[in-house]
Amino acid sequence: MDSDEEDYVFFGTPIEREEEITNRRKKAAAEASGNLRALPPWKQEVRDEEGRRRFHGAFTGGFSAGYFNTVGTKEGWAPQSFTSSRKNRAEVKQQSIFNFLDEDEKAELEGTLGTSSQFDTFGFTAAEHARKQADKEQKQRPSAIPGPIPDELVLPASESIGVKLLLKMGWRHGRAINDSRASSLYDARREARKALLAFASEDAKAPCPADEPVEEPESFTVQPSDDDARSSQSLPAFVCNPKQDLHGLGYDPFKHAPEFREKKRLHLLNDKQRGDRKTMSIKDSLFGSKSGKAAPGFGIGALEEYDAEDEDIYAAGYDFEETCIEDDEEPSRLGIESKQPSRLSIESKQKVVARDQGVLPGFKVASVSDYQLERFDPPVIPKDFAPHHKFPGPLETLKKLDVPSPPEVPPPDDSNLKLLIEGVAKLVARCGKLFEDLSRKKNQSNPLFSFLSGGNGHDYYERRLWEEHQKFGVQAKLLLDGKLSPSMQKMTAESRGKLLGEKPLERSSRETTSSSVASGEFQLQFNLSDTFKKPDSFSKLPEVAKPFKDDPAKQERFEQFLKEKYEGGLRSTGYTVASNMSEAARAREKLDFEAAAEAIEKGKRGKESMVSTQPLDFLASGMQFTSGGLEQVENGHAEDLVTKKMYPRREEFQWRPAPVLCKRFDLIDPFMGKPPPAPRARSKIDSLLFIPDSVKVAKPEEVAITNRDVPAAQTGAQMTIEDVAEEEIEIVAENVERPVDLYKAIFSDDSDDDVEDLNTKKVEDPEKKTEVATTALNRLIADDFLESLGKELGFEVPPDTPYSTNKANALRIETPNSDSGNAKFSTGTYLNPGNETAQDGDSQKNKSIPVRSGGYNSSKHTVGLLNMSGKVNEDKFAQEDKKVKSPSSRQRNWSSSSSSDDERSRKHSKRHRHRSSGSYSDPSSDDREHYRSRSKGKRERSSREKSSHSRKHSKHHKHRSRDSPSRSHRGSEREHSEGRKEKRKRRD
């Protein structure tokens, strides 16, 4: 059977036979012994003692249960018969949980012990206590009808008649109204068990009913149906809570957030304590965003949460949050203000209360209201107001001031009389009119005093008197002024200066430079010192002695400096002359000044001694520092300008638009024909190589332009058959090489480093370079020698890997094709690294060289090899060698120059290099190999537009090759190659 099963294919499940059953039984026994144990749990099968599967899947019978997978019993399943007669009524069957319990479960239930609340006096008292508390609380609560009136008017009956009756019937407070007798019919044990059962089953649903009224005053506890068990339970006290909120009936905002209920309760409590009603803005807690600033009116979906971005940055007119903020602010504000028991705080408090009292919840006080109390500010008391009145001296004298002046009269001829008149006038002026009257009365008879009464000299007297009054009045007024307003000095600096006869300061009309404040200050000081000192020597400096005359501001500063140096007088304390100058610039300038001053001094002395009017020779030397100083000043300015001019700053980057984008914009893709940018960080090396490219910025525009021109030229020129042929190989090559590439990428081997060294560090360390070269040479020489030997003998040396044969064949195919392009490209200028067509031409030429030289079978076409073979067979192919060498060396030079764009070639020819290196069974390529691979790579690049080369990178490299080091690089490369050649010669 078993062997048969090997040969046949069975469909369906075989019908089990009797023997199989026995078989199975045996099998089951065997498996049970331990065979099955080894299986994982999900593969084990549960079998009964018969060896049948106990459990099946859904479609194979399901769980085997009952009597042979039936719901019946051994006797079969029979429905309960319903019989009812007049005598024997069918009793309504009370179903209890026990109807559905198994025996063992029943046993379990009955075995447990527990307490019954009936016998729990503490529980009962606790319930009673709770009820009383609830009552008390209810009393505290505001009644359903708001306001204080009903409490006073309606006096509740202490005990309703119903309660009284019940009490008479044996009911006690907190007890359920039940027929307690009925329960006594049952035996205690059963009752207790039942009660326990009920508790057990309803554990979660009815948590400790006694506490319920207190905890959840708003909810009604539903009386459980199994009555007798609850007979001991206290009747829940219903607490009527007046509806105070604005929610819909039955809506509980805190249904799922009971913690907020507590918060609200506290809040309300606080409000009550404070005595003013507050509206709790639930919106804040429930819907408010984190910042409490959501756009009004446009809530987001119920399922979405408010985010930072949903904040209403445009603070809208209607502000819900206002009230909440006030709520929050209130306590703190009050707290602060209560600490300072000043009139102000009371006022503000009143204001706050006033503001809040008039406001209905949900409204806010209008910021601009039509009705406004008009307020008048109290009159402003002048600062100098003195509460005591002071009479300002004799009034009449002051009054007299207003009297129009009598005409000027010549004094009387009599000098005695004149003196007398003057004296009397002075006295009168000082002592008042009273004195005049007195003296007039006294000297009525005296003719000398006739001027008093209109006699001789009266006119003069009048005049004198007026003059004296005038004089006196002015003095008095001055005194008064000084007394009354000390701040208002009549004597200003100017007037004092005038008194003292000083030269008044004049605002300099000279042009003030940018820093007007500083220069103004400076001017003032300058003038001041001018007034005190007369620096005639310097102010009258001859034109030649003004070394900074092209910069008037500086000249001024210089003069100031001289003054400070040689003269006394006022000094500007902090040298604040040019505050707009930097510290360094100032120091430099000071040095300049120092030098200039010295030169002037010298010149002066010279002038004094020689008394010659020859122009100062310091000018020659002085020009130096002046110019230097000027320059520095300009530098300073330039710095300022630079900081100012830093923006806008322009930078340029490479950016690659997507082809589709170009298409949609109806533009030609500037990167058309370029391969897509390499995916980021494909390998370690790539990422390393890419970074500098992407970081590199600010390429000259022309690069872009030339680049832009290139594709057009390129696309047409370079699709030769040869390229196609090579592409085919390329595909093969890729498949072969991947692992090697990856390997190299991971373990960045020394070959890469070598290449890098060769190309970047050549100039710096020729030692290393030559070393690398020699080692590389050593490695390759054997192969090349063999090959060239083979050529010499006229047959091909089979390459060591099958892959390279493939390649060699392909190359052999290629070469004739490349001839076609030869004529065109051989004229290409090889020195232009920016022109790719030229490059390609060169590479083409390079390839075509063997054909032209004719001496070589074109199995290998690369320059390095070519040269090598040429060297090896030097004596034999002397002619050809020369012929070849000149172009090849040229070629080498070129290629070495182009090798400065090592990254490109390395990156893109890495694959090729590796391939070629594979063919030479030497994974670490030397630079010659590199040449080959590069040239090959170049060719490939030119041919396969959509291969791994991106224009971007080539551009970068081109650009780099244009940079200054490229030339020296090229030269060194040439030297290097020459040296290598020599070395090789020596070896040979």
Interacting residues with other proteins (CB under 8 A): 295-298, 300-301, 309-310, 312-314, 316-317, 646-658, 660-662, 664-668, 670-671, 704-705, 708
Three-state secondary-structure class, residue 202? helix
Give me the residues paired with residue 66 across strands: 70
What is the DSSP track for 382-431?
A: PTT--SS----S-HHHHHHHTSPPPPP-PPPS-HHHHHHHHHHHHHHHHH
In the complex, minimum distance from the CB of residue 300 to other proteins, in angstroms, rounded to a whole number: 7
Q: Which is nearer to other proteins, 154 or 660 (CB)?
A: 660
In the complex, minimum distance from the CB of residue 715 to other proteins, in angstroms, rounded to a whole number: 16
Q: Which is nearer to other proteins, 670 or 971 (CB)?
A: 670
Beta strands per DSSP E along 234-346? none
In the complex, minimum distance from the CB of residue 957 to other proteins, in angstroms, rounded to a whole number: 17
**Distance of alpha carbon 839 from alpha carbon 170, whole angstroms:** 119
In the complex, minimum distance from the CB of residue 641 to other proteins, in angstroms, rounded to a whole number: 13
In the complex, minimum distance from the CB of residue 707 to other proteins, in angstroms, rounded to a whole number: 9
Count the neighbouring beta carbons within 10 Å of the beta carbon of residue 796: 15
Question: Phi, psi at residue 55, to the nearest 5°?
Answer: -110, 140
In the complex, minimum distance from the CB of residue 945 to other proteins, in angstroms, rounded to a whole number: 16
Q: Which is nearer to other proteins, 144 or 658 (CB)?
A: 658
Q: Which is nearer to other proteins, 542 or 676 (CB)?
A: 676
Q: Which tokens sit at 964?
A: 């200054």
**Distance of alpha carbon 636 from alpha carbon 643, whole angstroms:** 11
In the complex, minimum distance from the CB of residue 242 to other proteins, in angstroms, rounded to a whole number: 37
CB burial class (10 A; 0-12, 13-18, 19+) of residue 556? Answer: buried
In the complex, minimum distance from the CB of residue 651 to other proteins, in angstroms, rounded to a whole number: 5
CB burial class (10 A; 0-12, 13-18, 19+) of residue 654? Answer: middle
Residue 521 half-sphere exposure toward CB, CA atoms < 13 A: 12
In the complex, minimum distance from the CB of residue 687 to other proteins, in angstroms, rounded to a whole number: 18
Q: Which is nearer to other proteins, 19 or 651 (CB)?
A: 651
In the complex, minimum distance from the CB of residue 680 to other proteins, in angstroms, rounded to a whole number: 12
Q: Which is nearer to other proteins, 300 or 713 (CB)?
A: 300
Q: Which is nearer to other proteins, 66 or 296 (CB)?
A: 296
Q: Which is nearer to other proteins, 625 or 671 (CB)?
A: 671
Give me the residues paired with residue 55 across strands: 63
Q: Which is nearer to other proteins, 163 or 316 (CB)?
A: 316
| Distant-in-sequence, close-in-space partners of 852: CB < 8 Å, separation ≥ 6 | 822
**Distance of alpha carbon 588 from alpha carbon 633, whole angstroms:** 9
Q: Which is nearer to other proteins, 482 or 659 (CB)?
A: 659
**Distance of alpha carbon 120 from alpha carbon 924, whole angstroms:** 95
The one-letter code for the residue type at 24 is R
In the complex, minimum distance from the CB of residue 685 to other proteins, in angstroms, rounded to a whole number: 25
Q: What angle separates helix 965-987 from helix 863-872, to the nearest 10 degrees?
A: 30
Host H or E run for residue 741: helix 721-746
**Distance of alpha carbon 590 from alpha carbon 632, whole angstroms:** 12
In the complex, minimum distance from the CB of residue 582 to other proteins, in angstroms, rounded to a whole number: 21
Q: Which tokens sit at 603?
A: 């010149």
Give me the residues paired with residue 97 across strands: none
In the complex, minimum distance from the CB of residue 659 to other proteins, in angstroms, rounded to a whole number: 9
Residues in the chain: 988
Q: Which is nearer to other proteins, 295 or 732 (CB)?
A: 295
CB burial class (10 A; 0-12, 13-18, 19+) of residue 761? Answer: middle
**Distance of alpha carbon 24 from alpha carbon 18, whole angstroms:** 10
CB burial class (10 A; 0-12, 13-18, 19+) of residue 833? Answer: buried
Q: Which is nearer to other proteins, 910 or 952 (CB)?
A: 952
Q: Which is nearer to other proteins, 170 or 648 (CB)?
A: 648
Contact 232, 254 (CB under 8 A): no
**Distance of alpha carbon 871 from alpha carbon 988, whole angstroms:** 8
Q: Which is nearer to other proteins, 284 or 311 (CB)?
A: 311
**Distance of alpha carbon 250 from alpha carbon 321, whole angstroms:** 26
Residue 141 is classified by DSSP as: S
Q: Which tokens sit at 947?
A: 């291969």
In the complex, minimum distance from the CB of residue 946 to other proteins, in angstroms, rounded to a whole number: 17
Q: Which is nearer to other proteins, 310 or 796 (CB)?
A: 310
Q: Which tokens sit at 296?
A: 């009004």
Contact 410, 465 (CB under 8 A): no
In the complex, minimum distance from the CB of residue 663 to other proteins, in angstroms, rounded to a whole number: 9
